[in-house]
Structure 1
């Protein structure tokens, strides 16, 4: 079921009290004395129909056919009169079906309210763990679930990654407003798992400031947000979209992957407004052009002025060895580092890392598919580890689909330092193909 369909059905469920059409059955009066003769006659006919003796569906259908044929035969020879009679019959049958479905829903809701063992507060807690598409589906089940699904706490963690193509500006903004002051995390886009040089997935385009609701009421909603993850999203107007980060001062987890955002402007905004970031992940699917000195300086300033930063991921960035070293040296609390698919890092960065960051709290180092990464520099890092440097490191991944560069400049497809892995014990080193 698509998210738009779930969202539409949820809105219909929450606004169920609507005026019936001209041909709808009126609710019975509370007092028999208030009923007019026509209403009493209608009630008598319907009561007779409901008390019809049990019979096979075929015989009942035959009876309807005979009576309808008689009514058409006794009607005027005018075709329009017969058409009106048939339309009226269809309308009456539709009213009977609608009335039956309404009664069925009421009985089901009453049954669920009794049979559902969890109190509303616990039901809301369970709903808050669902992704947003599943929450919308639950909201259409019954009145009990719909009421719990409308609670703000159910939208504390909005996850629209399971139905990206169905989520548009209106849906995103409405979800944010529905969460209100309870909003804590927001995931949006299309998550993919990439290995190797596969082309980037089809991106999702938004033709408006879909995050503008975070700036509502002077940024009240944005200030409550802790985690924001955007995958493969393209903005029509990037400049206006990034203004919303000015209201997200309490962000601790930011992930933007596969975006067309101007990173220089993003770095400047985050440096000024988002000082509490602990996990930062930025990435593209194809290498960016050479990073100019201004962009690099703003990136280093962002890292330096984020005292709580413990996890840094920069995917497919044109980082040089010096840039990478300066970033690591600027993050003294860094525990997780991922520079995968960096086309310029050739291994000197690893040697510098072993010399300048011996007491670093770094626990995980990921450098997958760095095409210029040299085998000798990886071995030098291994030796540094064996000497007791990097006391906290637990996992190193330098794997590459094309292998590592050997001393003669060729790719070594068989590099796999199993011996080093056995000696280090606690540290896990992956290499080669």
Structure 2
């Protein structure tokens, strides 16, 4: 075979010689079936020879790359492990050397498969999770909003593997338009690989972010959470899951969690959370430092249980919560752990009362909440009056706000209201800091954008009112080495 193949390769004009030879062989056959079989055999030989030549070329290229690539294998894997998931896949397709390095489990410690247009399905997610195995540290899945969906979001956020936090949820129609082909749809079983082999992949997972996965349900999410007992950072945005069941799973399994961010897919409709679930969450997750429950029906008694119960809580966000009136603020400044809270966001809470905000500002003037550095009571529909929440106040507590500004220069107070009322924009930050783009840092550490503009409240009478001039606050998150603190940015 070697001599025969060698003679073929030595031909000066193989196309003509082989063509004439094949024609004579075919003509020498006695009947038509034999001639057809001869032609088919020639095609098989030609195809085998072509594939063999391609394999030989790849082996030589791989050997060349191995000899010319300056980094050793382990260092190459280390470099690849720093790439985002998309770049890692591009590198794996470059050559067999890079493919071998890019399939090492260490390269899949941080998996980010989020996109504006979905490009992956359950099989891709499962493959990457299984490649990572026990090395899996972070997993991000789902559909992000388009830059045009929110002008504030487009201006203040860039879509990278480090700053996808706080992405607004999409409407159901938007999700359906984005889904496209079924081959790019994530379903309720997309997290199943976390629970395989006794939960080996999920055992050491520390960060789980899920965005706008339309087919995900409470059972599938809770099953995944039961396997993620080392979870420190959970972010759930735009999923059709029940708040109570989700928090029950967190309080049962994720006792070390430090950051909890859940945004309703249907603002103002989920009333599942009860007081017992709040108490279980406080007792089961004592290390929570950053809590965001956005778009749910949260009564003041439940909010009080959460805020007063978490002893380490420094960041609290209950934006677009339907039932909060502000009564829980009356006891916020008292008690053994009242001074820990540094960030409080009550933006667009429809039933938030003007009198409760006024009394809270007076309590701040009286010395309560000394560590509070960021307070947002902005509302595109104004604050409600004490007698009837349908009566809106667009210029609340102006005297107290001015007094707080003078007495607490270190407090960033946002009170933004629609232009049809009296628009007020108060920032307790140095003008030079704002112009230079500097931020208010609660502590040292690497900071990354975490928060986008709030989701559009479905219960609002005017979805578009009062969004202009709203400011953005960035949330703390766990980056695998330590817990980053809030960063404040000014629009």
Q: Is the TM value for this pair above 0.5?
A: yes
The equivalent of 2:293 in structure 1 is 314
Deviates more, 1:397-406 or 1:176-185: 397-406
Deviations 1:285-336 (A, max 9, x none): 32354635x7332133212331111111101110122221221111121011
Deviates more, 1:388-397 or 1:107-116: 107-116
What residue number does 1:12 align with?
none
368-377 vs 337-346, which moves further: 368-377
Structure 1 residues 310 and 235: CA distance shift in structure 2, 3 A? same
Alignment of 1:203-282 (within 5 A): 206-207=186-187, 209-235=189-215, 238-239=218-219, 241-282=221-262
Residue deviations 1:138-191, cap 9 Å, x none? 111112211111211111122221387333333222222221121222222123
Q: 2:8 aligns with which of 41, 45, 59?
A: 45
User: Counting helix residues as a fraction of each chain, which structure ranks higher?
Assistant: 1
- Structure with more relative contact order (C-alpha pairs < 8 Å, separation 6 or more): 2
Query: How much has 1:428 moved relative to structure 2?
Result: 1.4
Q: Residue 136 and residue 316 in structure 1: after superposition, are their counterparts in 2 closer, same or farther (change >3 A)?
A: same
- Which blocks of at least 5 consecutive residues in structure 2 are unaligned? 151-167, 180-184, 417-465, 467-491
Partner of residue 21, structure 1: none
> What is residue 29 of structure 1 aligned with on the other side?
none
Give the Cα–Cα distance (whole angstroms) in 2 for the partners of residues 187 and 83 of structure 1.
Answer: 56
Aligned residue for 1:48, secondary structure, equals coil
Q: Which residue of 2 aligns with 1:385?
A: 364
- Say which of 345, 349, 365 aligns to 1:370: 349
Other-structure match for 1:412: 394
**CA deviation string 1:254-307 (max 9, x = no partner):** 222212223333333322222111111122132354635x73321332123311
Per the alignment, residue 308 of structure 2 pairs with 329
CA separation of 1:398 and 1:125: change in aligned 2, threshold 3 A: farther
- 1:344 aligns with 323
Alignment map for 1:94-173 (pairs within 5 Å):
98=51, 101-162=54-115, 165-173=118-126
State how far apart, in whole Å, the 1-side matches of 2:351 and 2:11 are: 86
1:6 aligned partner: none
Give, in whole Å, the separation in 2 of the partners of 1:241 and 1:359: 33
Q: Distance in 1 between matches of 2:76 and 2:275?
A: 48
Aligned-residue RMSD, C-alpha: 3.9
Corresponding residue number in structure 2 for 1:13: none
Is the CA contact (8 Å cut-off) linking 1:133 and 1:163 kept in structure 2?
no
Aligned pair in 2 of structure 1 residues 420, 114: CA closer, same or farther (>3 Å)?
Answer: farther
Q: Which of 277, 280, 301 is matched with 1:301 structurally?
A: 280
Measured in 2, the distance between the counterparts of 1:239 and 1:197 equals 20
Counterpart among 274, 278, 286 of residue 266 in structure 2: 286
CA distance in 1, matches of 2:48, 2:229: 55
What secondary structure does 2:319 align onto?
coil
Which protein is bigger by CA-based radius of gyration? Answer: 1
How many pairs does the alignment contain? 383
Cα displacement (A) at 1:337: 0.5
- Whole-angstrom CA distance in 2 between matches of 1:290 and 1:70: 79
TM-score by length of 1: 0.73
